[in-house]
Amino acid sequence: MQLPSIALRFEGNETPGKVIELAVEAEKSGASSIWITQHLRRRDPVVLAAQILAATSRIRVGIQNLTPFINHPLTMAMTLSTLSELGEGRVAASLGIGNPLDLSKAGIVVADGPQTLERSLLAVASLTAGHATSLETSLIQAATCRLEHPAPLAIYASVLSPAQAAMARRTSVGAQLSAGLSLPYIQSCLSELGEATPVTAFTYLCSGTQQSRQSVRRKLAYLFRNDLLAENVEGAGLGIERERIRDAVAAGDLDLAQSFVPEAAAECFALSDGPGAIDTLQTMARIGIHEVAIDLGTNDGDVRAGMDLIRQARP
Amino acid sequence: MKIGIGFDGFTPMADVVHIAQQFEAAGADSLWFLQHMGYREAIVMAAAVATSTSRIGIVPAAVSPYLWHPVATAMSIASIAELAPGRVEFCISVGNLKNLGESGVEAAKPVVVMREYVEAIRVLWSGEPVRQEGLFHTLDGPRLAFTPPGRLKIHVASTGPQVLRMAGVVADGILLSGGLTTGSCREHMAFAREAAAAKGSAAGRPHVAGLIYLATGNDGAAARKTMKKKLAFLFRSPMQAANIRSSGLPIDHEAIMETVMKRQLDAAADMLPDDAVDAFAVAGTLDQCKRRLQDYLDVGIDELVLEISGDAAERLHAMKLLQFLRSV
């Protein structure tokens, strides 16, 4: 039975104490990685990563979705290289365009997103590998940078579309598929990747209780505020009014946003726990996904379900 | 007077954590992690040390508003403050102009940009949304989903008179640049303190921390040679011109800047006269260092931050100076 490795994902909501408790348990249970997402208002994933590295000994720690629209490629390379040195090779990172809504609140208009991301990916990979690197993006003109103490690490591109998957292949980095993608949409992204590309897929875990379904719908609502996910949402054929979700999230009304996400969305865009979960993971392995990073949720039942799944999938 | 230890990003991470723990055990008050472009990153250093110490103050420092977005910075510092409640402060600076230029960033109008940065970060830490039509950053209502425990102090590091005057009014304190002559230290303190007094700053007199470059070891001559290299690296900045002039020494600043930017640090160090070590820093045997430290103590700095050059053993050797500083 071929299964992908199972990783955990944090989104900066958890207190430092909770992060350590879950990270240590995940390592003991056999998880391959812990990924922490950069959200523009929550806890800094870099700080949490340093904390996890100090408390664990084997597990890989990744920073997910650093955006070049907030982070200069040189500062990203400095941060990641220093973290990699601290973690003695246990560190990975992904770069993504970021969420246009959050970025606009931070005063940033996303222009030439794909090109800026591609050039930034190449620059960060080059800098952390120890090369003097020239860079020009929509944000930066004619920069030449170098790290004095480079420490290489695995770099991924955050992928929300087949076009971004093709970019991951062009730039020779790993691919990190966003949470909230339907399985058919994941397959269309994978078709753009080469066989050698490392692939991590993010997913929300729905343990099947009403509370868990509500929690997943809320997370999907928050995720679907992102215009870059429009094609994925519309392709599912569930009649989801994504623009109303985006407007509700922008207005800070998550309850309203959640009401636009139907119950069926939890089945379509998340991993359902139960007898079918292992089958789904097998399918994911078969189509080319090497690692699945699950978002545990906040209630105890979901956390237990996630840890059980990690143990079941342990090689 | 408080005693701090500075880390400049040149030290391997394993040594950073070990040295930090040793200085905490020896009674130092604070650890300052200075951001230098292209070197080890201050937020990571501070976070790693915050998790492995229990008492000592933690200050990520010299973070430039031109390279680090205020929302990301507010997140980072607040996150470290959660790890080490009551121990974290923060320090910003413009950054080295030549390195910023290499990074494709023009550091225009630093007085306004630094002030706006301090103001935005304070609002973000309060949990309120920020609306700011700034010169360098425009913020349209972002807010943090969590807030740091307690009020975090913000310091400003600069060699510019106008920035120091702004800091005296807006910030909680200033950090005097490393490698200053004692004359420059007095002058820079006066810029901040006089501005604070003139404005009747509600916070009172700004705290003054002074970064002191220090190198010591059993071989005093070797320590002084190490220091010349350190000073050459510092003098890559055009903002050091007035400080260099204040020493009265014959130093070709332009030639040093050009040589450092070519990354020929040994050659740049050779351009400095031997007297430069005593004019701008503290270096040599322990006795030589004690004499020179006394000069800096006489300036009236509130917090002496020792940035110690050399390997881990030389840094720990310098720990003996802590006892001297505590005794005076």
Owner of token pair 């292949």: A169
The pLDDT of residue A303: 87
User: In whole numbers, what is the pLDDT of chain A averaged over residues?
Assistant: 93
State chain B's mean pLDDT as an integer: 95
Is there a contact between A156 and A180 (Cβ–Cβ < 8 Å)?
A: no
Is the model's pLDDT at B201 over the cut of 70? no
**Which is nearest to A150 in space by CA: A120, A173, A133, A127?**
A127
Residue A230 has phi, psi (to 5 degrees) of: -60, -45
User: How much of chain B exceeds pLDDT 90, in percent?
Assistant: 88
Interface-testing mutation among B73, B75, B265, with chain A (most A C-beta atoms within 10 A): B75
Residues of A in contact with B48 (CB under 8 A): 50, 53-54, 86
- ipTM computed for the complex: 0.93
Report the distance separating Cα B254 and Cα B256, nearest Å. Answer: 5
Which helix (H) or strand (E) segment is B92 a member of? strand B90-93
Residues A9 and A202: their CA atoms lie apart, in Å, by: 8
Q: Is the per-residue pLDDT at A246 higher than 90?
A: yes
Nearest CB partner across the interface for A86, out of B44, B69, B138: B44
User: Contact B82/B50 with Cβ under 8 angstroms?
Assistant: no
Distance CA B168, CA B147 (A): 26
Give residues with Cβ within 8 angstroms of A147, minimum separation 6.
Answer: A77, A78, A81, A127, A128, A130, B38, B39
State the smallest CA–CA distance between residue B51 and chain A in angstroms.
6
| Close Cβ partners of B263 (under 8 Å, ≥ 6 residues apart) | none
In this predicted structure, the answer to whether residue A297 has a pLDDT above a threshold of 90 is: no
Residue recorded with tokens 């209630």: A299
* Other beta carbons within 10 Å of A242: 19
Rounded to an integer, the average pLDDT of A252-278 is 92
3-class DSSP state of B306: strand
Local confidence band at B205 (pLDDT 50, 70, 90 cut-offs): confident
Residue A1: which pLDDT band, with cuts at 50, 70 and 90?
A: low
Average of pLDDT values for A262-288? Answer: 91
- Distance of alpha carbon B80 from alpha carbon B49, whole angstroms: 10
Query: What distance in Å separates the CA atoms of residue B9 and residue A148, rounded to the nearest whole number?
Result: 10
Q: Please determine, for residue A196, whether its predicted confidence score (pLDDT) is greater than 90.
A: no
Please compute, for residue B35, the number of CA atoms within 13 A of its CA located in the half-sphere on the CB side.
30
Using the Cα atoms of residue A181, residue A183, residue A185 and residue A190 in order, give the sign of their dihedral: positive
- The least confident of A150-159, B8-17, B95-104 is B95-104
pLDDT in tens, B13-66: 999 999 999 999 999 999 999 999 999 999 999 999 999 999 999 999 999 999
Question: Over 70: is that where the pLDDT of A87 sits?
Answer: yes
| Rounded-to-integer distance, Cα B77 and Cα B140, Å | 21
Map residue B211 onto helix, strand or coil. strand
CA distance to partner chain A, nearest, from residue B125 (Å): 10
Average pLDDT rounded to a whole number, residues B191-198: 94
Closest-CA residue of B relative to A151 is: B40
Decide if A53 and B143 are in contact by the 8 Å CB cutoff: no
Instruction: Give the distance, in angstroms, between the CA of residue A8 and the centroid of all CA atoms in the same chain.
Output: 10
Inter-chain contact B51–A78, Cβ cutoff 8 Å?
no
Which residue in the set A41, A53, A148 is minimally distant from B142, CB to CB?
A41
Cβ-defined contact of B72 to A44 (cutoff 8 Å): yes
**CB spacing of A86 vs B48 below 8 angstroms:** yes
Q: What is the mean pLDDT of residues A157-164?
A: 95
pLDDT, position B263? 87
Q: What pLDDT sits at residue B99?
A: 85
Q: How many CB atoms lie within 10 A of CB B64?
A: 25
Q: Tokens 């007095």: give the residue.
A: B186
Per CB distance under 8 Å, which residues of B are interface residues toward A? 9-10, 12-13, 37-41, 43-45, 47-48, 51-52, 67-69, 71-72, 75-76, 78-80, 82-83, 102-105, 134, 137-146
Whether residue A4 has pLDDT greater than 80? yes
Per-residue model confidence (pLDDT) at position B202: 61
Find out whether A124 and A174 touch, Cβ atoms under 8 Å. no
pLDDT of residue B316: 83
**DSSP per position, chain A:** ----EEEEEE-S-S-HHHHHHHHHHHHHHT--EEEEE--TTS--HHHHHHHHHHH-SS-EEEEEEE-TTTB-HHHHHHHHHHHHHHTTT-EEEEE----HHHHHHTT----SHHHHHHHHHHHHHHHHTT--EEE--SS--SEEE--SS----EEEEEESSHHHHHHHHHHT-EEEEPTT--HHHHHHHHTTS-TTS-EEEEEEEE-SSHHHHHHHHHHHHHHTT-GGGHHHHHHTTS---HHHHHHHHHTT-HHHHHHTS-THHHHHHSEEPSHHHHHHHHHHHHTT--EEEEE--SSHHHHHHHHHHHHHT--
Among residues A112, A103, A227, A118, which one has the least CA distance to residue A165? A118
The model's pLDDT over B106-141, given as tens digits with 9 standing for 90+, comes to: 899 999 999 999 999 999 999 999 999 999 999 999
Cβ-based burial of A125 (10 A; exposed 0-12, middle 13-18, buried ≥19) = buried
CB B119 within 8 A of CB B183: no
Question: Considering only CA atoms, which of B327, B78, B134, B304 is closest in space to residue B208?
Answer: B304
Give the closest residue to A105 by CA, choosing from B147, B124, B80: B124
Residue A142 pLDDT > 80: no
Query: Rounded to the nearest 5°, which phi and psi values hold at B167?
Result: -60, -35
At residue A167, the pLDDT reads 95
pLDDT-derived band at A274, boundaries 50, 70, 90:
confident
